[in-house]
Structure 1
């Protein structure tokens, strides 16, 4: 079986050249029948055909994840329609402050994401969302609000990773990869029966790389990385009515976050930073899923989970060599954070995050001839501890100072939800859902700012707030024919308010309110030519109120205005997504997608500390490409009765974006441009019937120089720009064996 996803992006180019295509996995193609087989997903918390779900959903199948070397969610950016990302914090432009967006919603990040990431139905907190793909059955990408069923922080959509359940079949896979830049990866997985009605699975992966950025100042590799990931599962099915699945996973990563990046206009992949500390991430999760059939028509489901994630990242904030003179600040007993002397040197920024999350979901679901229904309760607790150290030494072209912060945020909440789908006729279905949610936030901590001349400004931070919401969704689906389904959906999105994590300069914690949206979507899902072609089209219109954005507001105690998250704007996003899956012959498969999002601020004044304002109304969202496209082609050439040669090409295009100019000397409202880019990857594989696959690949075939972010010198501004480049051309080999 070949697994592939498709959508039209340059379909003519695909037809004319079997070598220029892209990737976006999802639909199974049966080589022996030249038909696209049915994909079963759980987007509505029940198993049903992907083509029957009245939602814009992309399913990335496990075989594609392994075949294409997709490592984590960041590899989906620009490949799955509507999915991109933003750097959500100018104060810390590191991987901990990356946020997923869909259709432009969520580009603003904030302190909580607008796209929820789930593993087997359990929400993953922000620090731990990018856990590695490991032995997954599929990834379901649901665009549009999913709050009715998936819950918190799904205003823009949800990404649900479905792990592969062990069963009675003994199976395994081993893989080894070697590539340029000192890159190695080995992985192994095995699952099967270990007793009567008891099954187990285990998988692990180790990877390392020297990275592709060289630090000329320090004469070292700038972005090395070493990571080990493991997952284990136990599945007990004592009878046909009960299933219990326990999973545990862990990730440990030692690396150096590229953060500011390399100078634009210099040597392409050379950094100049004079600060290089080893960064760390640890991520551990436990989960227990129970399904019990109370009756033949009613099922009780429980999802209990715990995750702990930590991160420690240090960066050179100006990205250039700095006079390393040292200024020792004396101690000051006015704050526990200044009890010892501090030696400030260079321009150094360190953020340490620790996050704990636990949740419990209980739901009852059932079905009759005409009605599918579900009711449930949900509860969560989330704890975040953040430490921050910011040093401006005397040689940093700025007033010497240091900042020390210790800040915590505790958030908990509960929800009750219900959804039902009723079939008025064999072809017409109506669905309605509702969710009531409450969240409470409590914050506290200390902060001290020490200026040259040893002026200490200690702060004591406390605050709490409560939020609640009722969200609705309605949809109608109609089977125009046996192969053409139409749907229309209305859904409300909600992201709770909060309290600013980066405190202001006075003893106050500034709050921000809920962000809400109303989303309309119409779509068509269709198959043609005896199931040899699938085409899905959706169009959407989103209205956002109280958008949570970075803005400058007056300090409530009269000192310097501060940059905080504030409900600064109303806005809209409208566009379409088109996916195509096709199998014209036993040997040829191709796929592609196009996504377009036209976003607009309706009422947004960007304000500075002096009360000056720039009207952003009518402007497109930052960090949001208007157009993305992807396409892929696979051509299989039989060389014997037992073996094939497989040729694969993957192409993607991402439109240009704007980003905020975060320099301290930038003009109010100044923006920088990130140009569009496109990239072509190719792979040649030998595959045989005994499970062996040997692949040679080249990523970024034309060695294009592309980047996804740009910034200016933090202090000096001027024409000193820094970028985060994507990978240069890279050759590699992968060998794997399935058994």
Structure 2
């Protein structure tokens, strides 16, 4: 007997069913809609107006002098956005690599990429609070109001780590009346998803919103050695908000969140070619547990002239344990090390961080020609990083998992432990002046200072001792400061209401940091360039011109941008097998240049078409090894193409409707290391969704990676390939109610 009803549906049946239903529904709906064009013309004659807040002021998407892709609640529900990968796959010139463990995901925007153990390449802001740990990004998205992706350095607005851009996520605010939503889903994992949210007034001057998400799946990628899926996942996430309207001038916003995730890590195979498709064959299923929790208090005080003060105090905590197979990720008897030395190995990593942050700023009224913002930000962070390898005898992992094993059945091979303290502060100012109805200028200036120190907790016996290199000392504290001015200047020209042109210059900054104690010696003995005890901060200087347009008579809006970026100290990743560490080196100078455009059209009532294209040409201009000069920078897809179509077919005189949606993404050739040793072929992905919508409920049949494209999400230097998810399909039921 099959484990799930979905197993009755073959791959070909699913594909043909969705396509046939879509063609039939579209043809029928088109004939029906032609009869109603006259009645509905007035409702579709205006281009949709989307308001964005990513520039720290609320303004229309088409007027914002920055390249930004926005996803409203309509887009989030229509596309079934539930994870970060879902909206990034719809954004030109932005890519995401999901790999290794729950908290490991790398965002690349316009060639500015992210690596293991580096600072983020984008600033991620949720309800005004900036994430302080890159491991927080990979979370379930539920009860979300809007997502904005700003491209290009946003250091003047958001400071350090906004070097590639910013992702601004707004969750739903408390409602004026009691309401709620329940969402239930099943998929072919088999997997089960449940989400619930309730909101309403709690009294005369306060309101609340509570939401939660539960996701449980057996997985989608088989471990052919263990005979079970390699990627099971269980996630429980909760979020709560309470807003206290003290009076007409003062508002206090309390928010809290919690997330507990369990999955399995290190499902690698070893291959020299990124286009080689192999299933995991680890003998250790592995452990990957991650906990996230925190909260914030935002206080807003509005003055008589409309200007307002904002204070945001936040605390964030993350803990992640990872234990699994080690190189070469094969069963003990098949492993290279076992056949060479008579034993195999496993690995354990612990990551953790806790931070307090405080921001205070003043925002002037929007009613004046001259508008301004000024403020200050401070954050205090403590991070733990532990990595170690043990002899794998097939008995799993002995306690303790956060220190050195004394079990003779699971003896320790190597171990490194470092505690990193970071105190960072910044002050900033933004100003905008409208010369007239056509010309305006926006300026930002921010200074960020990072004071970092690294405490070596590794026992002396485990610190690498390589002849010719300095030997680290247990208890040693190393300090390093990084600081940067980040200006941004943008001129905007609006000759007519339907067209906005902008151009300017900006500087982004990503803080440097420390590699684990002794890694520089291990890398040096192996002849690897660029690995030091610390890695330098990265700066990106960008010139950009762009434009946004609307064609109201044709229900069309769109935008384009051209950019050129000079990057100094671009980070790249190096894995050192000898001590199981993930390390960062830097490319002293690289150049990134390209363009992008997007267009959104409603040519017929109910029919929405979306297209976007991005191109980036990356080149290493300076490096210690001359053979790498002229090559592409790692983890950059040269092109991205996004096409989408959504058609709404009204039924029963508007009482219900059918919504048909297709989303296509093409990722161009992707290089993964500085030596261009292997390049992934272009990837074509197709998502489909058919939704029946009634007055207060809906039922959706959906598929992601509909054609079941087999490809690798990542190739890491050293030959580590990580397989991407195959086709996933399912049903989702949503019910909206009032209480």
Q: Does the alignment reach a TM-score above 0.5?
A: yes
Match of 1:23 in 2: none
Structure 1 pair 393–254 and aligned structure 2 pair: CA distance change class (3 A) = closer
Matching residue within 46, 49, 61 for 2:60: 49
Q: C-alpha separation between the residues in 1 aligned to 2:62 and 2:668?
A: 29
SS at match of 1:271: coil
Match of 2:372 in 1: 373
Q: How far off its partner does 1:86 sit? A: 5.0
Q: Is the aligned partner of 1:709 residue 2:714?
A: yes
SS at match of 2:77: helix
Structure 1 pair 727–548 and aligned structure 2 pair: CA distance change class (3 A) = closer
Structure 1 pair 258–506 and aligned structure 2 pair: CA distance change class (3 A) = closer
Matching residue within 47, 50, 58 for 2:69: 58
Structure 1 pair 393–31 and aligned structure 2 pair: CA distance change class (3 A) = farther
Match of 1:464 in 2: 479
Q: C-alpha separation between the residues in 1 aligned to 2:450 and 2:637?
A: 32
Match of 1:24 in 2: none
Q: C-alpha separation between the residues in 1 aligned to 2:678 and 2:274?
A: 15
Matching residue within 577, 591, 603 for 1:584: 603
Q: How far off its partner does 1:212 sit? A: 1.2
Structure 1 pair 277–75 and aligned structure 2 pair: CA distance change class (3 A) = same
Matching residue within 309, 321, 324 for 1:312: 321
Q: How far off its partner does 1:448 sit? A: 5.5
Match of 2:13 in 1: none
Matching residue within 640, 652, 662 for 1:649: 662
1:298-447 equivalences under 5 Å are 298-317=307-326, 318-323=328-333, 346-367=344-365, 368-391=367-390, 402-447=413-458
Structure 1 contact 246–287 (Cα < 8 Å) conserved: yes
Q: Is the aligned partner of 1:625 residue 2:637?
A: yes
Structure 1 pair 552–117 and aligned structure 2 pair: CA distance change class (3 A) = closer
Matching residue within 286, 299, 302 for 1:293: 302
Match of 1:73 in 2: 84
User: Could you give the per-residue CA deviations for residues 106-136 of structure 1, whole angstroms, max 9, x where no partner exists?
Assistant: 2456521121111112111212122221211
Q: C-alpha separation between the residues in 1 aligned to 2:575 and 2:179?
A: 57
Q: C-alpha separation between the residues in 1 aligned to 2:47 and 2:180?
A: 26
Structure 1 contact 409–441 (Cα < 8 Å) conserved: yes
More helix as a share of residues? 2
TM-score by length of 1: 0.83
Structure 2 contact 47–552 (Cα < 8 Å) conserved: no
- Number of equivalenced pairs: 662
Structure 1 pair 371–687 and aligned structure 2 pair: CA distance change class (3 A) = same
Match of 2:257 in 1: 249
Q: C-alpha separation between the residues in 1 aligned to 2:491 and 2:502?
A: 5
Structure 1 pair 97–167 and aligned structure 2 pair: CA distance change class (3 A) = closer
Structure 1 contact 593–630 (Cα < 8 Å) conserved: yes
Structure 1 contact 316–347 (Cα < 8 Å) conserved: yes
Q: C-alpha separation between the residues in 2 aligned to 1:66 and 1:272?
A: 37
Structure 1 pair 177–107 and aligned structure 2 pair: CA distance change class (3 A) = same
Match of 1:277 in 2: 286
Structure 1 pair 214–267 and aligned structure 2 pair: CA distance change class (3 A) = farther
Structure 2 contact 687–706 (Cα < 8 Å) conserved: yes
Match of 1:9 in 2: none
Deviates more, 1:126-135 or 1:432-441: 126-135
More strand as a share of residues? 1
Q: C-alpha separation between the residues in 2 aligned to 1:536 and 1:448?
A: 56
Match of 2:123 in 1: 116
Q: Is the aligned partner of 1:733 residue 2:703?
A: no
Q: Is the aligned partner of 1:571 residue 2:590?
A: yes
Q: Is the aligned partner of 1:723 residue 2:721?
A: yes
Structure 1 pair 660–450 and aligned structure 2 pair: CA distance change class (3 A) = farther
Q: How far off its partner does 1:249 sit? A: 0.8
Structure 2 contact 275–681 (Cα < 8 Å) conserved: no
Deviates more, 1:542-551 or 1:428-437: 542-551
Please, which runs of 5 or more residues in structure 1 have no aligned partner?
Answer: 1-13, 20-28, 328-343, 554-558, 606-612, 662-668, 715-720
Q: C-alpha separation between the residues in 1 aligned to 2:633 and 2:587?
A: 13
Q: How far off its partner does 1:94 sit? A: 3.7
Q: Is the aligned partner of 1:39 residue 2:58?
A: no
Match of 2:696 in 1: 691
Quote the RMSD (CA, aligned, Å): 3.4
Structure 1 contact 213–269 (Cα < 8 Å) conserved: no
TM-score by length of 2: 0.83
SS at match of 2:44: coil
Q: How far off its partner does 1:495 sit? A: 1.5
Q: How far off its partner does 1:711 sit? A: 5.4
Match of 2:10 in 1: none
Q: C-alpha separation between the residues in 2 aligned to 1:225 and 1:246?
A: 30
Matching residue within 627, 651, 671 for 2:677: 671
Q: How far off its partner does 1:474 sit? A: 0.4
Please, which runs of 5 or more residues in structure 2 have no aligned partner?
Answer: 1-21, 28-39, 395-410, 523-530
Q: Is the aligned partner of 1:198 residue 2:206?
A: yes
Q: C-alpha separation between the residues in 2 aligned to 1:655 and 1:288?
A: 43
User: Could you give the per-residue CA deviations for residues 496-515 of structure 1, whole angstroms, max 9, x where no partner exists?
Assistant: 22222354376998223221
